[in-house]
Amino acid sequence: MSGSFRTALLILTLFILPPLARAERIVSTLTNDLTDVSTAMPFWLASPFSTDPNYRFLSSVTVGLGFANAAVNVRLFADNGGQPGATVADLGTQVVTQQMTSLWTFTPAVRVLLNPSTTYWVGLGNVSTNPFTFSAILDPSKFTFAAVPGASMTNLVATGSGSGPNPPAQFDSFGTNAVLPFELDAEATGLAVLTIQPQPGGVIKISSTNGSGYPHIIQAATNLDPPVVWQNLGSNALAPSGAWEFTDVNATDYPRRFYRSTVP
């Protein structure tokens, strides 16, 4: 590309939720036979899954619970070397009072982006002072899962004791003697095509006319040689129509600059 341009090839993509996106099952072990397992506060249990090669927004997690009289918290954890790591999303707490096995659905209060081909853990904890039972899969030979192409689940469980309403700082037990049965549903994301327009005075205007009202962050880098260092330039909310603009008034300070758009 000609060096006379202050901004060389600019590759930008914005991951947003299409207006007609619908949640679909990404992974599920709810097709397995469920067995009640007694637990007590502050017990936590988590099992992993891996996403397919697409960006998705988490819609809900449904877990199978048995006889219960307790406050149950469900969270999504990052993977940290094969064990649950930092909390990605707190899906809330529900008071569960029931005499038989049933399904309970937990939804995030804010939109949560799931990265493609990434391992996460779904964790469930008893955050009350009462014991309760959850429905677990106990026979590894009978473990099965359903998933969209490219997604997967593992017959693995991590357990640990939390502190009050908080999960364990580090889960301390791993094995295949029990698996948390859950289903995770998510919405597909769409790509909004961005337009780059050099303006008088050397500033750069970045705009998009499609998408929905999801926040985004504009980032810039001076080159694409690894390790690439992306700098946040600003954050805007898309208009209801999906149209938005962002102007980089500092573009003249750099001989070239690459841009991308991402979500929080």
Quick one: which H or E segment has residue 226? none
CA dist., res. 134 & res. 126, Å (int):
10
pLDDT at 7: 38
DSSP secondary-structure letter at 29? -
For residue 228, count other CB atoms closer than 10 A to its CB: 12
Q: Is 123 in contact with 74 (CB distance < 8 Å)?
A: yes
Predicted local distance difference test score (pLDDT) of residue 17: 38
| Residue partners of 51: CB distance under 8 A and separation at least 6 | 26, 114, 115, 116, 117, 118, 120, 150, 151
Backbone φ/ψ region at 163: left (φ over 0), alpha (ψ -120 to 50), beta: beta
Model pLDDT, residue 34:
87
CATH of domain 23-188: 2.60.120
Tens of pLDDT, residue by residue, the chain (264 residues):
333 334 334 444 444 434 445 789 999 999 898 888 888 888 999 999 999 988 788 999 999 999 888 999 999 999 999 999 999 999 999 999 988 889 999 999 988 989 889 999 999 999 988 888 889 998 888 899 999 999 999 999 999 998 888 999 999 889 888 899 999 999 877 555 678 889 998 899 988 755 544 567 788 999 999 899 999 988 765 555 556 788 999 999 999 999 887 766
Q: Which CATH class is domain 13-20+190-262?
A: mainly beta
Taking the C-alpha atoms of residue 201 and residue 193, their distance in angstroms, rounded to an integer, is 25
Task: Write down the domain spans for the chain.
Answer: 13-20+190-262, 23-188
The whole-number pLDDT of residue 163 equals 85
Q: What is the pLDDT of residue 2?
A: 38
